[in-house]
């Protein structure tokens, strides 16, 4: 049981202690949920004989809102010439949060890397989850990462490079 200063159920600042305890517990639950937001977007079930990926990277490392972000993964097993990337995202914010899921066609580079482009529309912290699917409908393991998207300079359109 949560302890509140004073006697149990004694009013404090006009609010009963039991209500203060409930509000505190609710705040802790919300904080825990925000850290796990990336897992709230459903991904495809990885196939045991599907592709395997590693090395999730974001380029540029500090992107601007409204500019493309490249998400790169390395394909370890299950390479095919034409594949697709499943990319889920959650904007980690109390206000104006959002989430989404895109399936994008991608091609395997000679290095074994796969690159999927996205354009975050708002600044803030984003949690991404990525997986690769082959032409047979088998999906890879899921990789997760976070990236901070910065706002473009005031009164300027983003100078994407």
The CATH number of residue 49's host domain is 2.60.40.10
Instruction: Work out the average pLDDT over 107-132.
Output: 91
In tens, the pLDDT along 21-75 reads 444 444 444 444 444 444 568 899 999 999 999 999 999 988 999 999 999 999 9
On whether residue 23 sits in a domain, the answer given is no
Residue whose tokens read 């890397």:
113
In tens, the pLDDT along 134-146 reads 989 999 999 999 9
CA–CA distance, 151 with 161 (Å, rounded to integer)? 15
On whether residue 13 sits in a domain, the answer given is no
Indicate the length of the chain as a whole number. Answer: 161
In tens, the pLDDT along 17-26 reads 554 444 444 4
Q: How many domains does the chain have?
A: 1
Buried (b) or exposed (e) across 97-132, using 16+ Cβ within 10 A?
Answer: eeeeeeeeebebeeeeebbbebebeebbebbbbbbb
Phi, psi of 22 (to 5 degrees): -65, -40
On whether residue 30 sits in a domain, the answer given is no
Q: Which segments of 15-150 does DSSP mark as H helices, in order? A: 17-35
Tokens of 143: 């990789």
pLDDT, averaged across the chain: 79
On whether residue 125 sits in a domain, the answer given is yes
Could you tell me the residue range of the domain that residue 83 belongs to?
A: 39-149
């Amino acid at each position: 049981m949560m302890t509140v200063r004073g006697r149990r159920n004694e009013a404090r600042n006009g609010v009963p202690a039991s209500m203060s305890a409930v509000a505190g517990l609710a705040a802790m639950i919300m904080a825990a949920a925000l850290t796990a937001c990336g897992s709230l977007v459903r991904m495809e079930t990885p196939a045991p004989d599907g592709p395997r990926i590693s090395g999730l990277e974001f380029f540029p490392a500090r992107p601007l809102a409204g500019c493309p972000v490249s998400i790169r993964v390395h394909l370890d097993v299950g390479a095919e010439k034409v594949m697709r990337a499943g990319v889920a995202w959650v904007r980690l914010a109390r206000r104006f949060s959002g989430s989404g899921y895109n399936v994008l066609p991608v091609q395997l580079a000679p290095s074994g890397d796969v690159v999927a482009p996205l354009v975050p529309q708002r600044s803030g912290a984003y949690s991404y989850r990525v997986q690769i699917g082959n032409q047979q409908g088998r999906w890879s393991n899921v990789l997760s990462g976070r990236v901070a998207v910065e706002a473009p300079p005031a009164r300027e359109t983003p100078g994407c490079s």
